Amino acid sequence: MIEHRTNPDDCAFDAAGGAPEPISCATEPNGLVDRLGPLLVHYLFSAGRTVQIHDLTNRAAQTALSNLLETLRELGETEGRVAVTVATDLLSINDVRVVVDTQSMGPVLYLIDEMKKRKVEEIDFAPEVAAEELGSFLKLFFSEPSEEDVFGELARKLSDAGVVNIRLAERIERLKYLRDAKVNKQEVREESNRVMSRAIMFMGEVMRAIAQRRPVQLPKASRITQQIADIIRTDETILVGLASIKDYDEYTFSHSVNVSVLSMLIADRMGLHKSDTAQVGIAALFHDVGKTHVPQAILNKPDSLTPEEWQLMERHPMLGVIELSRARSLRAMADALFVSLQHHLLYNGKGYPAKPAPWELHPFNHMITVADVYDAMTTPRVYRKQTLTPDSALRLIARKGGEMFDPLVVKAFIGAMGVYPVGTVVKLDTGEHAVVTRQNEHCRLMHRPVVVLLRDDGASGEQIDLAERAGDGPKYRRTIVESVHDKRYEAQKANCFIVK
Ligand SMILES: [Fe+2]
Ligand SMILES: [Fe+2]
């Protein structure tokens, strides 16, 4: 039996329909950003040029700095953070594209060029930024970029200078190699790590935006999920491994990212177009945003919830809809709105909030529900007696196919994850423990994946293909006896997927 939550948090049984459309970065008008955006770009341009020539104490530099700071503050008063983004050669401020006219063309092109040179996709100014910090940032940002690791070096210099209220996001090129026949495994590994940490950071921003009653950044979510979709079409192994590492402190962030990766994997296996797969990922990223309004004491309560606490918990799908409807482009947010509302509704229509009979569930919802339940069941939580190993969670979901979950979705999910999903810790018939690091390519050998041995001294062990036979005989060298849930191996397991 699937355990029914006594607590709100994970979406034990979460479950959503509408024609998906590619996300457009074009946004609806926003008067303040429309008015102040070009001015901000102009001041960034003049400040950038000035600090390249003069010291920060110079009067021209001081004027440029104070004009820039004043504009940031004016925007920040209403908008909170101010994010300057370059995507596909267009400059946006808080997701509002800066309109280029003859006056603004020079500064806009200059800024795009300077950001691209430093592999920066976004400059995010927190409202707390002060004049001195802004000055240090400008001096370092506009200094001549280095030849190698331009972004990494800049980020390090900013950190050393104590710049904490201005954050940079790295521009990740849509990697051509991901579509090449010969894939460089290390590059995919690094790309997977980059996009996962970026997605988790993004979820932090989303939660902060909601707390400050600001709209969430849809175009940024779109860029992240398109990158994930690129990786999934190449080799999702590392992504699935990273999703199996449970972050207990940042549960809500990592849970949303894990659900996004896993539901996109299902969407891909079900044959959805890449842009639709990315849409599934966006809806999954936002499925639990309504929980921002549920107190942590309820989300993490070890005991059963009182009826009043349940009532509050059961409002999180609708609270999510209210938050997401603040988005600048509602049309682009439509799928996510449905999924937020319906993600606790199951294939059989049970769940909450109660579904009026004529309603159909959104097709994305079926995929996101399975991913949601899987991630919840495999993550230790204070209120759940038992955390399932990945293979047990899969078996349980398989048993409920056609009842709680869409059977086609279940089939696609199991096909993608295998018998022992990547990241499962297993005990072998030799008494050794190991972590699954890759599925066997042959369907009939799904129960014989590639593993890395876990050593008691913590050192990384040998990689073993469990399909290897002992000599010429029919016997296999090693066979999985059972999967285990053992916290001792968590760090070693993480080392198999995390790039240091
Ligand atoms: Fe969830
Ligand atoms: Fe939920």
pLDDT in tens, 46-88: 888 888 888 888 888 888 899 999 999 998 887 778 889 887 7
CA of 203, nearest ligand number: 1
Query: Is pLDDT above 90 for 409?
Result: yes
The region of weakest confidence among 153-157, 251-255, 403-407 is 251-255
DSSP letter for each residue of 203-264 = HHHHHHHHHTT----HHHHHHHHHHHHHHHTT--HHHHHHHTS--STTHHHHHHHHHHHHHH
Task: Determine the pLDDT at residue 403.
Answer: 96
Q: Which ligand is nearest to the CA of 253?
A: 1
For residue 192, report the distance from its CA to the centre of ligand 1, in Å. 22
Report CA(131)–ligand 2 centroid distance (Å).
41
Task: Give the residue-averaged pLDDT of 476-489.
Answer: 90
Q: How far is the CA of 344 from the centre of ligand 2 (A)?
A: 6
Cα 10 to averaged position of ligand 2 atoms, centre (Å): 6
Q: Which of 65-74, 188-197, 351-360, 423-432 has the lowest mean pLDDT?
A: 351-360
Q: Assess whether pLDDT exceeds 80 at residue 21.
A: no
176 C-alpha to ligand 1 centroid (Å)? 33
Task: Give residues whose Cβ lies within 5 Å of ion ligand 2.
Answer: 11, 288
Q: Which residues surround ligand 1, an ion (CB under 5 A)?
A: 11, 288, 372
pLDDT of res. 173: 60
- Residue 172 CA to ligand 1 center (angstroms) comes to 28
Helix (H, G, I), strand (E, B) or coil at 356: coil
Ligand closest to 320 (CA) is 2
- Nearest-angstrom CA–CA distance, 425 and 499: 19
Rounded Cα–Cα distance for residues 144 and 5 (Å): 56
Q: In what order do the strands lie in the sheet with 450-454?
A: 460-465, 450-454, 433-438, 425-428, 480-484
pLDDT of residue 378: 94
Q: How high is the pLDDT of residue 86?
A: 87
* Contacts of residue 307, Cβ cutoff 8 Å, sequence gap at least 6: none
Q: Is it the case that residue 110 has pLDDT exceeding 80? A: yes
Q: Chain-wide mean pLDDT for the chain?
A: 85
Pick the ligand that lies closest to the CA of residue 8: 2
Give the Å distance between the CA of 251 and the centre of ligand 2.
13
Residue 170 CA to ligand 2 center (angstroms) comes to 30
What is the whole-number distance in angstroms between the Cα of residue 354 and the centre of ligand 2? Answer: 14
Q: Which of 197-206, 212-221, 391-400, 405-414 has the lowest mean pLDDT?
A: 212-221
Say if residue 10's pLDDT is above 60.
no
State the distance from the centre of ligand 2 to the C-alpha of 224, rounded, in angstroms. Answer: 21
CA angle 490, 371, 449 (to 5 degrees): 55
Q: pLDDT per residue over 207-216, tens digit each?
A: 888 888 888 8
The structure's pTM equals: 0.75
Q: In the chain, what are the domains?
A: 1-24+173-416 (1.10.3210.10), 28-94+96-171 (no CATH), 425-495 (no CATH)
Ligand 2 midpoint to CA 309 (Å): 15
Looking at all shown ligands, the one closest to residue 368's CA atom is 1
Ligand 2 centre to CA of 293 (Å) is 12
Selected residue with higher pLDDT from 177 and 90: 90
> How high is the pLDDT of residue 12?
40
